[in-house]
Every structure is written in C-alpha cells, then in structure tokens.
C-alpha cells in the first residue's frame, strides 16, 4: 500500500504528530505565520489529507486545486470560516473541526477579559511595570462593578452557555439572544431570552459568542453600538468580523460605549496604526482564548482523530459538513 501524505500547516502537539507519523508521511510548515494561499494551493494538490488552522486561507481557489485523492481537511479549531465549505462539500471533501474541547477554556478567558477590563487591571499593571505607582486615592483606577451587573450574551451555544454559568457566581442578571430559544436552560442557568435590541440597550457587559456567517458579519455596527449604554463594556472572543472595526473606533473615540476587550479583530493582526491600540479603555489580546496547554493538546488529538477517520474513508467524528454523507 502506498504511504499516505499529510500536510500540517503549523507545528502542533508532538504526541499528535507522532500518531500520524506511524502510518503517514508528514510534512509540517515550519513557519510561525501561516503559509500563503499560493503555497497551500501547491501543497493540497499533492497530499491525501491536511490539518489546518483558522489563519489558513482555504479559499475556493485552494480547495479547487486539491489532489483528486484528497480525503479530508481537518481544522484544529472550532470555527472554520477560513474554509470555503461550499467548495469542499461540492467536491465531496469532509471538513473536520474541534468543537467542545475548548468551551471551558474560552469561557474562562472571556471572563479574564471581562474582569480585567471592568477593573482596569491591564491599565494598572502597565502603570506599575512602568514605575508609576500612584498613591491610593479615592478615584485612582476606579472601574465598574461586575457583581450584580447585567451581562448580555449574543450567541448562546456551548461557549455562551459556559460564560453564563460563570456569571451566576457573580449574581448577575443574564440576558441572551440566539437564533434558537433554549427554554430548558432558562431555568437551569437563570437566563432571560431577549431580542437583540433589548440586549443592546440593557447590558452593562456585552459578550459575543456567535460564529461568523453572512448574518453575523458586522452585526455590531454603528447603529447597534449607538443603542448600547454609555457605560457598557463590549467583549469579543468570537470572530473579529462580527464587529465593524470602523464603527467600534467611532464608538470608542466618541465615548458612545465605555470600553472594549477584544481577543479577535478584523483584520488579524490588528493594524499597527489602529487608534484602539492607544486607548486605555481597550484591551486587546492576539486570539488566544483557547490557548491553554491542555486544550491545545486535546485540539491537536481531535484534529488527528478526524484526519485518520477521513483517510480511512470513515465518517469524521466531528464534521463541519455532514451533508456530504447523505449524498
């Protein structure tokens, strides 16, 4: 039997790579930044399976160049908006992803951002590291209370729900909006289903947990930001393009809202000239919500599980386009 060829677009956990090496020839992109679209196009034409990350442009053009024997695209992320699913599906290529394993890690991180932003921890730590320790004063680095405040959650899937679970310990009023109403969870988590308008106008903290689609692209635009409280803080650990970056700049410069904590941005990396980088009430991290040692290891193994199933012609355990199996 001919040895299978695999391409991995970045170095992933060595234990996961070893599992693959036991039966396939594995080629790993050595860079820390993603391979180009052109490079991916050449690679995908030569291999039987590929493990990708959310930074890799798996465009229609790339997928259309795939080796006719390409059995699987396995993405090491829960989101897969970087992959042209339509083209993959048309070509009968299963696309794997890694839902579930990163839920709690991302919810923890969302809370880390929320608390830091509310209590100005990033700002205070920066001052201290720069040698500025302002003497205790009644209004030095005062922030917003979290306990008892209203938290709005847009997108009530696994991560949104995990964020709500943590909010109960802070005795918060929790509002959510989602295409689907989750009546069973409303009692269990003490959450209230709201319209988007209600959530925008009532939340002290607004946290985004929706995936990126045509409907959620620039969901948070100028009009919607204008509906928020002047004291509201916006947290985004979903996808950068859920927020219109120009509208957010406008809202923060004009004090339409009080601050933002963003783990994702449109585009990534955030351009060096963005005024948001110089605002004290803005906390930006480089898309690391799932970055815990344990979770990244589990994600790598899950991506390998999907890849192996694909190579063996079996149904992927976590498939983003299961419709290919009903064809």
The nearest distance, CB 25 to ligand GLV, in angstroms, is 27
Residue 239's contacts (CB-CB under 8 Å, 6 or more residues apart) are 79, 81, 210, 211, 212, 216, 264
Do residues 200 and 229 lie in contact, with contact meaning Cβ atoms separated by under 8 Å?
Answer: no
Stretch that binds ligand GLV, among 10-18, 72-80, 112-120, 303-311 (CB under 6 A): 72-80
192 is catalytic: no
Candidate ranges 76-84, 124-132, 171-179, 316-324; the one touching ligand GLV (CB under 6 A): 76-84
**Biggest alpha carbon–alpha carbon distance for the chain:** 75
Q: Nearer to ligand GLV by C-beta: 202 or 290?
A: 290
* Out of 77, 219, 243, 311, the residue judged to bind ligand GLV by CB under 6 A: 77
* Rounded-to-integer distance, Cα 223 and Cα 214, Å: 18
Q: Rounded to the nearest whole angstrom, what is the least distance from the CB of residue 198 to ligand GLV in the complex? A: 27
Dihedral angle of Cα 166, 172, 176, 182, to the nearest 10 degrees: 70
CA dist., res. 321 & res. 125, Å (int): 44
Tell me whether residue 63 or residue 76 sits nearer to ligand GLV (CB atom): 76
- Binding to ligand GLV (CB under 6 A): which residues in 88-117? 102
For 313: left if phi > 0, alpha if psi spans -120 to 50, otherwise beta; the answer is: left
> Closest CB to ligand GLV among 79 and 155?
79
Phi-psi region of 100 (alpha: psi -120 to 50; beta: other; left: phi over 0): left
Verify binding: residue 303, ligand GLV, rule CB under 6 A: no
Residue 82 in contact with ligand GLV, rule: CB under 6 A: no
Nearer to ligand GLV, 49 or 79 (CB): 79
Which is nearest to 47 in space by CA: 72, 30, 64?
A: 72
Instruction: Identify which of residues 75 and 281 has a Cβ nearer to ligand GLV in the complex.
Output: 75
Pick the closest to residue 197 from 226, 162, 161, 227 (CA basis).
Answer: 227
Single residue of 34, 35, 49, 79 touching ligand GLV by CB under 6 A = 79
- Terminal-to-terminal C-alpha distance of the chain: 28
120 included as an active-site residue: no
The catalytically annotated residue of 104, 166, 268, 301 is 268
| Residues contacting residue 43 through CB under 8 Å, at least 6 positions apart | 7, 27, 35, 50
Active site residue 223: no
Catalytic position from the list 287, 294, 312, 315: 287
Q: How far is the CB of 190 from ligand GLV (least distance, A)?
A: 28
Is 78 an interacting residue with respect to ligand GLV (CB under 6 A)? yes
Distance CA 233, CA 249 (A): 14
Binding mask of the shown chain, residues 282 to 301, with x at each position contacting ligand GLV by CB under 6 A = --------x-----------
Among residues 317, 319, 311, 296, the alpha carbon closest in space to that of 50 is found at 311
Cβ closest to ligand GLV, residue 203 vs residue 290: 290
Residues near ligand GLV, by CB under 6 A = 54, 77-79, 102, 290
Residue positions annotated with a catalytic role: 239, 268, 287
């Amino acid at each position: 039997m001919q040895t299978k060829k695999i391409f991995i677009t970045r170095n992933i956990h060595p234990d996961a790579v070893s599992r693959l090496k036991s039966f396939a020839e594995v080629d790993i992109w050595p860079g820390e930044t993603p391979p180009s679209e052109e490079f991916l196009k050449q690679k995908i034409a030569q291999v039987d399976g590929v493990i990708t990350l959310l930074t890799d442009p798996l465009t229609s053009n790339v997928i259309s160049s795939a080796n006719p024997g390409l059995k699987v695209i396995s993405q090491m992320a829960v989101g897969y908006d970087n992959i042209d699913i339509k083209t993959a599906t048309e070509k009968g290529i299963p696309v794997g992803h890694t839902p579930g394993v990163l839920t709690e890690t991302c919810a923890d991180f969302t809370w880390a951002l929320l608390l830091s932003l509310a209590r100005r921890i990033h700002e205070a730590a920066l001052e201290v590291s720069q040698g500025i320790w302002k003497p205790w004063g009644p209004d030095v680095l005062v922030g917003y209370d979290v306990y008892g405040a209203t938290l709005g959650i847009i997108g009530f899937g696994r991560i949104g729900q995990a964020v709500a679970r943590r909010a109960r310990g802070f005795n918060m009023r929790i509002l959510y909006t989602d295409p689907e109403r989750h009546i069973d969870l409303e009692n269990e988590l003490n959450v209230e289903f709201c319209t988007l308008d209600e959530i925008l106008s009532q939340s002290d903290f607004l946290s985004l947990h929706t995936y990126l689609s045509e409907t959620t692209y620039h969901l948070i635009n100028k009009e919607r930001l204008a509906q928020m409280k002047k004291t509201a803080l916006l947290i985004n650990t979903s996808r950068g393009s859920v927020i219109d970056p120009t509208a957010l700049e406008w809202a923060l410069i004009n004090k339409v809202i009080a601050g933002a904590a963003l783990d994702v941005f449109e585009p990534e990396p955030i351009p060096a000239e963005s005024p948001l980088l110089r605002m004290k009430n803005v906390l930006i991290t480089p898309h690391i919500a799932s970055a815990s040692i344990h979770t990244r290891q589990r994600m790598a193994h899950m991506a390998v599980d999907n890849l192996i199933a694909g190579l063996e012609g079996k149904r992927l355990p976590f498939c983003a386009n299961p419709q290919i199996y009903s064809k």
